[in-house]
Structure 1
Amino acid sequence: MRTPTRFKAGAVILSAVALTVTACGTGGGDTSGGATADAGSGTGEIKVWGHQGEEGEVAALQAAVAGFNSSQKGVKATLQLIPSADYTKTVSATSPDQLPDVLEYDGPLMASFAYDKKLAPVEGLVSAQTIGNQTDSVKTQNTYQLDKKLYGVSMYDSGLGVYGNKALLDAAGVTYPKGLGDAWTADQFQTALEKLAAKDPDQKVLDVKENYGGEWPTYGFLPIVNSAGALAIKDNKAEGNLNSAPVVKAVQQFAGWRKFVDPNSDDKAFTDGRVALSWVGHWQYNPYNKALGQKLVVLPLPDFGAGTKSGQGSWAWGIGGSSKNGKAAGLFLDYLLNDSNVTAMTTANAAPPGTKTVIATDPLYKPGGPLQLFADGLSKTCGANPPTTACVATPRPVTPAYPVFSQQFSQAFLNIYKGGDAQAELDKAAKAIDQDFTDNNNYTS
């Protein structure tokens, strides 16, 4: 990831405009959830929208579409790629009846699009075999909590942790975790930072990707909230959850580590050896491994009281709420999610595969692989349940209010990180989030 636009864990950079349009879209949602696509004949032409990601991802997607079209004669898929920076804004601004039969979407925005009738449930259109092969973590991110229906399928997921430079850690006498079971506590992590700083000329020993923007504060640091034992939103309420005492303490402690953070304006703090630790996701494994080789270690995030936690969720594929050919759309998604296509895509982007069959054999994520830690965390998803020490991967809130939540949480977190009062900032964010629920009748009508 060279720039913020390459963030691959829900990669869209969500501008304030996109957030507002998505959160306050066409409405019309109800407790039944999204629209219902017409099954249609299962033949003919279907339109497909995808985000224009990295070169390798685009090539993998184009090859999958071409492969589908050549594998049978009944359905022709026509792919339209939309630049990543414009993709979510385009979907948000397009009325349901103008959306394609198949569309990609940024995972945590699923509930908002389902509420606005832009997505239809995929069960009954996508095969049971394809759905059954989805990992539990991607099923969680793609399941709408109001109606408990699945609105998408994922080729890949995401993982979050701390990369370490073994040489620098050893030189400072820092003992580091070997896996999820012995994750640093927050206090132990702080002690590690202090030991590293004592051996470092400028005492800047940690990278938290200050150079990233958009969705990063929510994806990268919401696990702190969950590790404190809290759901950010519970029963459509942020008050008493996002701003609870354990969360305030955890976020405040993280903000206190800023004195150890390299601003990383060149995105080379870790690869150039300026810092010993980098708090970031799976997408940095390839460049970090290239730079450090055997000196690279992959560590869990620190435990703020309820166990180490990690982010999850990324781009997913759904069926347009107004599609007249849902059966054909389902056939395309069945093909897209086969082992060959998932392998091609995850080879291109190094993301955790979103299917059980591929993640079990992926060179990076299989048992003994260098990123097994991320796979292990994803296999222990907290789902929609309150986080405990028994689970690791935590989905961002699956609610139509997510765009507002992300905007409010990101701003509050950054304000606290820059020295703001943690209780006051989280109180303000919780109030704004709860007001959004009130203004939209809890998104139930």
Structure 2
Amino acid sequence: MRHPLAMLAAASLLGTVALTGCARAGHDGASSGGGPTRITMWTHSAGNPGELAVHKKIIDDFNGSQSTYKVVQQNFPQGSYNDAVTTAAAARKLPCLLDVDGPAMPNWAWSGYLKPLGLPRSLTDSLLPTAVGRYKGKVYSAGYWDAALAVFARKSVLVKNNIRIPTAERPWSLAEFDAAVVRLKDSGYRTPLDLGAADKGEWWSYAYSPMLQSAGGDEIDRNGMKTAEGALNGPEAVAFFTWFQKAFTNGWATSNGPVGNQKFIDDKVALSYTGVWNAKDALEKVGPDLLILPPVDFGNGPKTGGGSWQWGISAGCGKTQSEGARAYLTFSFQDKYLTRFADNQVVIPATAGATAASKYFGPDGKLRPFAVLSQKFAVPRPATPAYPVISARFEKAAKDIMNGAGVKPALDAAVKAIDSDIKANKGYAH
């Protein structure tokens, strides 16, 4: 399957939604014409047969369950989806239903693409917090699933090297993790740790900002979302990125490819910092020796990334069509569909009921640790229209630091760029 971080931003979040103005989006122009009211739905799922099969099942079931509305799906390749949305928004021709990358949602809401979702609170409250997109106190999007990060290891390797196996209740401290990595390097692993640094784009914010948050920093001051000063360049951030740089200068990790989990599968690295989308392959190749371990505690508890693709309703969708869109979404969030989606795509179900029924994430599922980590440690990326700029500047700073740049100057430059963007857009206040 496509990895959900490719799904989260394969087309580059910055290039598609970093907008500087507000373009109010129109409706899709569909009308009832005497028959069922037509509800057009856009997805980024073209080329993903497993995902499309679940969508088709839900749509067929919904359309067959009533005669008032008819949902019609249109699928776009991942690489062209966001461009299609921005073009349609400019022409006031958005569909009523569309999926949106979780961290991009606040920018889309601010830009006038989306209206508040308006689903029953009992439904949105039943979802994982990171599967619900909130902006300025309102729910704009909701999703069927989430992803999470963990550390993959082989039990035999840790036991052989007398390294404690961490748990969600007692994760590795940073000192303990560093000692384990040194011991694994001394045992013969030329590069003991794969941090995923060969990847690019949204992965960098998704993967490494939780580490920063665990250390006590953040990408922006979340009290008002008006500045990155002190959060991205304060003492905690400098300490974390100093460690991040050390991991590469010490030869614990490299930025060499391939992207993904292949180095761990080939036993070229002992520890792999990766996501749930790589777990099924690891299970098949490594078998019962596979350990799915919690992220490292950098001082303020383990953190893992949260927030993925979710559903929204376009701002220009008419009253009748909006009612149909909400009826469809309410229907679609049944546990049986969320379980099917999660098990087809190997992603974490968004409800407790769907999780309990999942073959992978249920009580006896081999990927159960991911559901636990998501519930306990997930942190959404900052819910601000400035996020595309934040993500891009975070990636640049982290890569510069990885490659030897001064830590504080690199972070100060990122803060300056982020704060300039926020100021240029008048604090994204409207």
The answer on 1:135 being equivalent to 2:128 is yes
Alignment of 1:191-210 (within 5 A): 191-200=179-188, 203-210=190-197
Q: Is the 8 A contact 1:210 1:265 kept in 2?
A: no
Q: Structure 2 residue aligned with 1:265, among 258, 269, 292?
A: 258
**Whole-angstrom CA distance in 2 between matches of 1:79 and 1:184:** 46
- Structure 1 residues 168-201: Cα deviation after superposition (integer angstroms, max 9, x where no partner): 2222222220x2221111121111111111111x
Shift of 1:418: 1.6
Q: Which of 179, 200, 207 does residue 213 from structure 1 map onto?
A: 200
Q: Which of 296, 304, 309 is the matching residue for 1:315?
A: 309
Task: Give the equivalent residue in structure 1 for 2:343.
Answer: 347
**What is aligned with 2:271?**
277
* Counterpart in the other structure of 2:236: 246
* Amino acid in the other structure paired with 1:152: S
Match of 1:388 in 2: none
Say yes or no: does 1:336 pair with 2:326.
Answer: no
In 2 relative to 1, CA 204–441 (structure 1 residues): closer, same or farther, beyond 3 Å? same
Deviations 1:89-117 (A, max 9, x none): 32233326211000001000110000011
Q: In the superposition, relative to structure 1, how do residues 264 and 166 fare at CA in structure 2: closer, same or farther (>3 Å)? A: farther
- Show structure 1 runs of 5+ residues with no match: 381-391
State whether residues 36 and 120 of structure 1, in contact with CA within 8 Å, keep that contact through their aligned partners in structure 2: no
Matches of 1:49 and 1:158, distance apart in 2:
22
User: Structure 1-normalised TM-score?
Assistant: 0.87
Shift of residue 21 of structure 1? 4.7
Asked if structure 2 preserves the Cα contact closer than 8 Å seen for 1:269 and 1:275, the reply is: yes
Q: Does 1:22 find its partner at 2:17?
A: yes
Check conservation: 2:28, 2:94, Cα contact below 8 A: no
CA, structure 1 residues 363+81, in 2 after alignment: closer, same or farther (shift >3 Å)?
same
Give, in angstroms, the shift of residue 222 of structure 1: 0.7
**TM-aligned CA deviation for residue 204 of structure 1:** 1.1
| C-alpha spacing 1:85/1:8, structure 2 compared with 1 (3 Å) | same
The within-5 A match list for 1:396-415 is 396-415=381-400
Are 2:415 and 1:421 aligned?
Answer: no
| 1:245 CA displacement | 0.8
Deviation at 1:246, TM superposition (A): 1.0
Q: Name the counterpart of 1:149.
A: 138
Matching residue of 1:297: 291
Match of residue 12 from structure 1: 9
User: Which residue number in structure 1 is paired with residue 49 of structure 2?
Assistant: 55
CA shift in 2, pair 1:362/1:21, >3 Å = closer
Alignment gaps of 5+ in structure 2: none
Deviation for aligned residue 1:6:
2.9
Q: Aligned with 1:218: secondary structure?
A: helix
Q: CA deviation at 1:135?
A: 2.1
State how far apart, in whole Å, the 1-side matches of 2:396 and 2:122 are.
41
Instruction: Specify which of 353, 370, 376 is matched with residue 374 of structure 1.
Output: 370
Q: Which secondary structure does the structure 2 equivalent of 1:400 belong to?
A: coil
Displacement of 1:10 after TM fit? Answer: 5.4
Paired AA for residue 76 in structure 2? I
**1:153-172: CA deviations, max 9, x gaps?**
11001111111111222222
Structure 1 segment 79-94 matched on structure 2, within 5 A: 79-94=73-88
Work out whether residues 27 and 95 of structure 2, in 8 Å CA contact, stay in contact via their aligned partners in 1. Answer: no
Deviation string for 1:32-78 (max 9, x for gaps)? xx99999x999500100011263211221122222222222211111
After TM superposition, where is structure 1 displaced by more than 4 Å over at least 4 residues in a row?
34-38, 40-43
Question: Residue 298 of structure 1 contacts residue 370 of structure 1 at CA under 8 Å; is this kept in 2?
Answer: no
Shift of 1:401: 0.4
SS of residue paired to 2:39 = strand
Query: Could you tell me whether the CA contact under 8 Å between 2:154 and 2:290 is conserved in 1?
Result: yes
* RMSD of equivalent CA atoms: 2.4
Q: Does the aligned pair in 1 maintain the 2:131–2:144 contact within 8 Å? A: no
1:168 aligns with 157
Query: Normalised by the size of structure 2, how large is the TM-score?
Result: 0.90
Equivalent residue letter for 1:134: L
The code of the aligned residue for 1:138 comes to: A
One-letter amino acid matched to 2:179: T
State the 1:335 CA deviation: 1.9
Name the residue aligned to 2:96: 101
Letter in 2 for 1:183: P
CA contact (8 A) 2:191 2:252 kept: yes
In structure 1, C-alpha distance between the alignment counterparts of 2:125 and 2:26, rounded to whole Å: 22
Amino acid at match of 1:244: G
Distance 2:422 2:151 in 1: 34
SS in 2 for 1:428: helix
Q: Are residues 1:439 and 2:428 paired?
A: no
Q: Aligned in 2, Cα 1:80/1:28: closer, same or farther, shift over 3 Å?
A: closer
Q: Supply the distance in 2 between the matched residues of 1:287 and 1:346 (Cα, whole angstroms).
A: 15
Match of 1:316, SS state, is: strand
How far did residue 25 of structure 1 move? 4.7
Is 2:380 the counterpart of 1:365?
Answer: no
CA distance in structure 2 between the partners assigned to 1:6 and 1:354 by the alignment: 18
CA distance in structure 2 between the aligned counterparts of 1:35 and 1:312, rounded to whole angstroms: 30
Whole-Å Cα distance in 1 between the matches of residues 190 and 301 of structure 2? 28
The alpha-carbon deviation at position 132 of structure 1 amounts to 3.3
Distance 2:356 2:244 in 1: 34
2:70 to 71, 76, 81: 76
Shift of 1:377: 3.1
- Aligned-residue offset at 1:7: 3.5
Secondary structure of 1:269 counterpart = helix
Asked if structure 2 preserves the Cα contact closer than 8 Å seen for 1:36 and 1:121, the reply is: no
Report the Cα offset of residue 251 of structure 1.
1.7
Give the CA deviation at 1:238.
0.2
Check conservation: 2:3, 2:278, Cα contact below 8 A.
no
Contact 1:9-1:313 at 8 Å conserved across structures: no
Number of residue pairs matched by the alignment:
416
- 1:152 is displaced (CA, Å) by 1.0
2:51–2:341 Cα contact (<8 Å) kept:
yes
